[in-house]
Structure 1
Amino acid sequence: MKIVHPRRIVGSNAERTRLHNRQVVLGHVRERQPIGRAEIARISGLSTQAVSNIIAELEEDGFIVEAGRQSAGRGLPVLQYRLNGDGAAALGIEVRPDAMFGALVNLAGETLFTTREALPKNDPKTVADVARRIRTVALHGRNAEKQDILGAGVVMPGPFGKVGISGAGQTALHGWEETDPVALFEDALDMAVVVENDATAAAVAERVRGVASGLRTFCFIYFGAGLGLGVVNDGEVQRGAFGNAGEIGHVIVMPGGRQCACGNKGCLETYASRISVRSKLACAGVEIDSATDIEKLYEAGNPHLMEWIGEAAGPLSQAIGMIENLFDPETVILGGAMPDEVLDHLIGALHLPGGSVAAREGRVSPRVQRGACGRLTAALGGAALVIHDTITPRIAAKT
């Protein structure tokens, strides 16, 4: 049995806001370009006049451009429109415990600039100073006015707020307990800011410009400071009641197993994460500081790294089976601050459970695959979140 839920973005001429209807039109242009005004009106429920007015605004703002005319049978050829990738850009910043990454992405999802800055400390003041420097370098030389920058998406490791796994070991940012990160970054960057956890941002990046392009429901396991899960359901990211959905690293996969910094024993993060591979290699007298170090060890066939891959595959397979049964995704994507070759090897070593809703015939996407956005996935995702919020309308409440 196959259940299909067709999705139709509907606008309104009266009860919904002008911004919502603008997002409706812009979203349809992006998804169906090139497209004409009459077709947008038909599929959105807006009047042709309302669509024409919004199209004129979007053209004036530089968000869309004419894309020629298309014959539609009788009458004059219909004027078509497409997204203007160079019409605006967004800044993405990822904060890790030991480094910060920046990316500038245009409206079409194309990367214009990337950078990495080491973090001597990860307290709020130091992070704000480095974010300010990233903004300056990213925008230097751009012949654009400030309003062409839609805003910034700042990505940080969770959890947010004081919860039972706060301050868990190497993944924690210190000194942030009383800090409002949105206010801090808006002051430092002098622009509108959205703050998101790293795994959610990485999932959005893959949907905007990676292997999840065209998918509406998928999960992303993010190898960052720890291990996180980004969930996209029917095109909308799932954040949870307090923004902490997806702390997959602290799900227990081995009861009574390895001690985790959060206080639990047997957490997935202690078996399949950068923390666990660092610990494994340190026991063998091998120190690593970055994904590049892991990549070099893999290329050299380091036996301790190969042993870690074999050990990580089992717990990760168990977690993926759980994710599949919980969220029924089209696919599960692995990515983040782990070399592509290591992720490919890890995926090849998985033993996915047969007792899963994902174990079905006629699959279009593989059950598990590697992401395409690389190690800057979360920073790119921060920018992608801003673009996503600009283009994607929210479901309005009934009035």
Structure 2
Amino acid sequence: MDMNILPSHSGSNAVRSRSSNRQAVLGRIQSAGQMGRAEIARSLGLSTQAVSNIIAELEEDGLLLEAGTRSGGRGLPAVQYSVNAEGGYALGVEIRPDAIFAALVDLHGNTIATRRRAIKNNKPDKLVAKVIKLRDEMVQKTGINAERLMGAGIVIPGPFGQTGLSGLGSDLAGWQSIDARTLFEDALGLPVELSNDANAAAMSERIAHGLSNFAYLYFGAGLGLGLVNQGQLVAGAFGNAGEIGHVQIMTAGGPAPLEQQLSRVSIQTFMRAQQPLDIDAISALFTQKDPRFWNWLEAAASALSQATGLIENLFDPQTIILGGAMPDAVLSHLIAQTHLPDLSVSNRTDNPIARLQCGTCGRMTATLGAASLILNRAFTPQAASL
């Protein structure tokens, strides 16, 4: 995962807290690769002295390194600073009903370790114990200093209950009344960012693509939508923004929920399969050109066309990205066969970005996105602190 956070705010001596200014400075350096103090001060609207003090703190904390000098004309060459990849790490965890995926990511966004464990018992105490074990395994394998872990992003299936991000969706039985954030924070001893899979995947693609306004259609068991606006996730009042699978579309048989035509569960229905189909099974159906699967592709392309028009006209994104637990070849075929609606605000000639495109982060996209939530918090001043 090529890290490219796009800072979306400027600094302010009068308004921003010192913590937010640290985030702004760190994010600006990370985005540029390397910068000098005067350049940072100009770009953020901070005084050079304030930036010098913040850089000194970040160096002491091991988050920044000197990266040589650059001549700017008159005067001494300016000392350049870059983010220390080994200065901190983020833990990303994706919890599915049947498996846990975990990853460790450094401050440059490099994935340094991954793990996957099948699960049969997803009760809270069992799941938390497995997450702790996976974290400890990766820390031991990589030899990193566990004290450098900056936080854990935990991705779980939505939609969330009335308590917002404190409870889990129905796919994880027994979690509905659990304060999941507090549970994981206490167990891991780390700050925790909790999110659904579509939102986390969107953050992962935001970093990979360097986009600031886009929509991400995530294929889990069902279908979710992650929305990024001005570089920040759109979560909604209770964390449920983007539950697009429940939106009604027109089908040959009349109105139906979108995810009945466009999801892995819908493939299972079209194939009359007894069990859910994994990525490898779906890939085999595509390669073999199974007639029933080809029927699904036709229905899915029609559904995607309707979803595209809806998303574009509601949110005016730079692009819509498709990804998740679906083979790239299938997603590419869907995109190629999907009619892009003419009656859309995105039907324009001045946007060089394709209206539909495949994601780049593969099967681990939501897991890496979970880690990205922590990196995003480290590099980007959050709206609540403005």
TM range (shorter): over 0.9
**Matches of 2:15 and 2:333 in 1, distance apart?**
53
**Between the two proteins, what is the percent identity of the paired residues?**
49
Q: Which residue of 1 aligns with 2:181?
A: 182
Is the counterpart of residue 278 in structure 1 residue 268 in structure 2?
A: yes
Q: Which residue of 2 aligns with 1:234?
A: 230
1:167, distance to aligned residue in structure 2 (A):
9.5
Per-residue deviation, residues 12-39 of structure 1 (Å, max 9, x unmatched):
3354321111001011101222211001
Q: Which residue of 2 aligns with 1:129?
A: 129
Counterparts of 1:141-152 in structure 2, within 5 Å, are 141-152=141-152
Does the CA-based 8 Å contact 2:63-2:87 persist in structure 1?
A: yes
**Matches of 2:117 and 2:168 in 1, distance apart?**
23
In the alignment of these two chains, the number of paired residues is 377
- Secondary structure of 1:361's partner? coil
- Secondary structure of 1:141's partner? helix
Query: Which of 369, 372, 376 does residue 381 from structure 1 map onto?
Result: 369
1:176, distance to aligned residue in structure 2 (A):
1.2
**Matches of 1:186 and 1:397 in 2, distance apart?**
21
Q: Which residue of 1 aligns with 2:291?
A: 303
Q: Which residue of 1 aligns with 2:11?
A: 11
Q: Which residue of 2 aligns with 1:247?
A: 243
Q: Which residue of 1 aligns with 2:353?
A: 365
User: Aligned letter for 2:91?
Assistant: L
Q: Taking CA–CA contacts closer than 8 Å with sequence separation of 6 or more, which of the two structures ends up with the larger relative contact order? A: 2
Q: Which residue of 2 aligns with 1:269?
A: 259
Per-residue deviation, residues 203-239 of structure 1 (Å, max 9, x unmatched):
000111x2x22x1100100001311101001111100
User: Aligned letter for 1:49?
Assistant: Q
Q: Which residue of 2 aligns with 1:223?
A: 219
User: Aligned letter for 1:93?
Assistant: V
- Secondary structure of 1:140's partner? helix
Does the CA-based 8 Å contact 2:16-2:385 persist in structure 1?
A: no
**Matches of 1:305 and 1:113 in 2, distance apart?**
35
Q: Go from structure 1 to structure 2 and tell me whether the alpha carbon gap of 1:74 and 1:383 turns closer, same or farther (over 3 Å shift).
A: same
1:120, distance to aligned residue in structure 2 (A):
0.4
What are the ranges of 5 or more consecutive residues in structure 1 without an aligned counterpart?
Answer: 1-6, 259-264
Q: Which residue of 1 aligns with 2:4?
A: none
User: Aligned letter for 1:273?
Assistant: S
Q: Tell me whether 132-141 or 18-27 shows the greater mean CA deviation.
A: 132-141
Per-residue deviation, residues 139-192 of structure 1 (Å, max 9, x unmatched):
1233333321111000011111149xx998xx7221112101112212332322
**Matches of 1:299 and 1:66 in 2, distance apart?**
51
**Matches of 2:176 and 2:270 in 1, distance apart?**
31
**Matches of 1:257 and 1:157 in 2, distance apart?**
29
Q: Which residue of 1 aligns with 2:3?
A: none
Q: Which residue of 2 aligns with 1:204?
A: 203
Q: CA RMSD in A?
A: 2.2
Q: Go from structure 1 to structure 2 and tell me whether the alpha carbon gap of 1:159 and 1:386 turns closer, same or farther (over 3 Å shift).
A: same
1:275, distance to aligned residue in structure 2 (A):
0.6
Is the counterpart of residue 326 in structure 1 residue 322 in structure 2?
A: no
1:103, distance to aligned residue in structure 2 (A):
1.1
Counterparts of 1:62-211 in structure 2, within 5 Å, are 62-162=62-162, 172-208=171-207, 210=208
Q: Which residue of 2 aligns with 1:350?
A: 338
Does the CA-based 8 Å contact 2:139-2:145 persist in structure 1?
A: no
Per-residue deviation, residues 62-119 of structure 1 (Å, max 9, x unmatched):
2221221111111111111122222211011111111111111111111111121112
**Matches of 1:257 and 1:152 in 2, distance apart?**
44
Q: Tell me whether 293-302 or 312-321 shows the greater mean CA deviation.
A: 293-302
Q: Go from structure 1 to structure 2 and tell me whether the alpha carbon gap of 1:97 and 1:254 turns closer, same or farther (over 3 Å shift).
A: farther
**Matches of 1:341 and 1:396 in 2, distance apart?**
40
1:257, distance to aligned residue in structure 2 (A):
5.4
**Matches of 2:14 and 2:314 in 1, distance apart?**
39
**Matches of 1:359 and 1:231 in 2, distance apart?**
19
Q: Go from structure 1 to structure 2 and tell me whether the alpha carbon gap of 1:293 and 1:26 turns closer, same or farther (over 3 Å shift).
A: same
User: Aligned letter for 1:272?
Assistant: L
**Matches of 2:200 and 2:385 in 1, distance apart?**
25
What are the ranges of 5 or more consecutive residues in structure 2 without an aligned counterpart?
Answer: 1-6
Q: Go from structure 1 to structure 2 and tell me whether the alpha carbon gap of 1:51 and 1:238 turns closer, same or farther (over 3 Å shift).
A: same
Q: Go from structure 1 to structure 2 and tell me whether the alpha carbon gap of 1:143 and 1:357 turns closer, same or farther (over 3 Å shift).
A: same
Q: Tell me whether 312-321 or 114-123 shows the greater mean CA deviation.
A: 114-123
**Matches of 1:293 and 1:67 in 2, distance apart?**
48
1:397, distance to aligned residue in structure 2 (A):
6.5
- Secondary structure of 2:94's partner? strand
Q: Which residue of 1 aligns with 2:60?
A: 60
Per-residue deviation, residues 347-395 of structure 1 (Å, max 9, x unmatched):
1111111000100013211000000000110010000000001110124
| Structure 1 segments of 4+ aligned residues over 6 angstroms from their partners | none
Q: TM-score, normalised by structure 1?
A: 0.89
Does the CA-based 8 Å contact 2:8-2:231 persist in structure 1?
A: no
